[in-house]
Chain A
Amino acid sequence: MLTFAPQSEEEMIALGARLVTGGLLPPAGLVLLIGDLGAGKTTLAKGIAEARGAASRDEVSSPTFTLIHEYGEPARLYHIDLYRLDEAHQVESLGLDELLARPGALALIEWGERFPELWPAARAEVRIAPDDAGGGRVVSVVTAPSGEARQPA
């Protein structure tokens, strides 16, 4: 597990980019972004999207209401937010399997940790928590053992 300590929004975006360029995130597959309201999940996604060449940072906004934002043509990044959903069957009806089966696409999922039974073992997790001082964040990255994209079912 690797940990980082971004101290500002700028540093959070830069960290997202470094997770991509440094190969800490898989090139395709599933990443759970885990953190409380206002932790900086969407901010991190901005850096990830920009480094993948899928969208500029200002284009990446919260997918809470719309559930799925896709970036790039063809889509290279799915930014998914399950905040509004309470039940696993609602999540299943989104057709995420289909998205994950698309070659070369990375899916970032916010609030996905509430549905652990839905996700494959081969996934990465990024946890964001406030640091002790309260101003910055502690970001820890766990890449699943295989680190490979999920194989289509």
Chain B
Amino acid sequence: MRTIAPVVEKRWETPSTVTLRFDYAPLARPGQFVMIWLPGDDEVPMSLSYTSEGRKGVTIKAMGETSRHLLQLEPGTRVGLRGPYGNTFDLSPRRLLVVAGGSGGAVVAPGAEEVRRKGGSVTVALGATTAKELLFRERFTAMADGGLEIATDDGTAGHRGYVTDVAARLVKERSFDAVWTCGPEVMMVKLVRSAEEAKVPIFCSVEREMKCGIAMCDACAFGPYHVCSDGPVFSGERLRDIPDFGQFKRDASGRRVRA
């Protein structure tokens, strides 16, 4: 159930973000994740940033110790893979707004591409701390027939400020069938509110501590759900009944800490 596969491509997307590609056959759908094992180190969940048949990919930002180690991998290094796990984005929207903050673009990009390929319209709001850290700027530009709007904290590109401001304006001014988002939880909480006010269904990809990946160990408990199997994609409607969202997460011991 675990496949050992070498990294076949490595690409720096931003100064802190790397895409690793590997040949991994199991069928994957946009929104799903794999457990990627760096032998001798750790095994962590990573959403697939490339879900196409055969060659899959994950896009990693330097956050914790393990992600920093993953960033240092070179082609030829072998990793362990299991999955894909979790649910997927519903690909039926005809007019989609994608809101991606930080490395969140890695999670929403493959599904948005699918929507576009199926003839839907895609609009993207992309945020980062600074221009150089905008993830998948070209990839999003290529798919965003409805336009790409950018926000950076320091104003080095696009709107100076938060991507949530840009998104709030977009949902108010234009009509969408759905909003997809992935990014820091505070950002997603704000977006859920904006989308609800505009009466647009919203879907968030949520992150929690994860160990087993198969709804057994409870590390990713999220209200009465498990992010690994009931998620990672949750509708705004469901999130309303999950007290954890925007409030607390659990550390590796299961203690509640501020989200």
Are A and B genuine complex partners?
Answer: no
Binding site for B on A (CB under 8 A): none
Residues of B within 8 A of A (CB): none
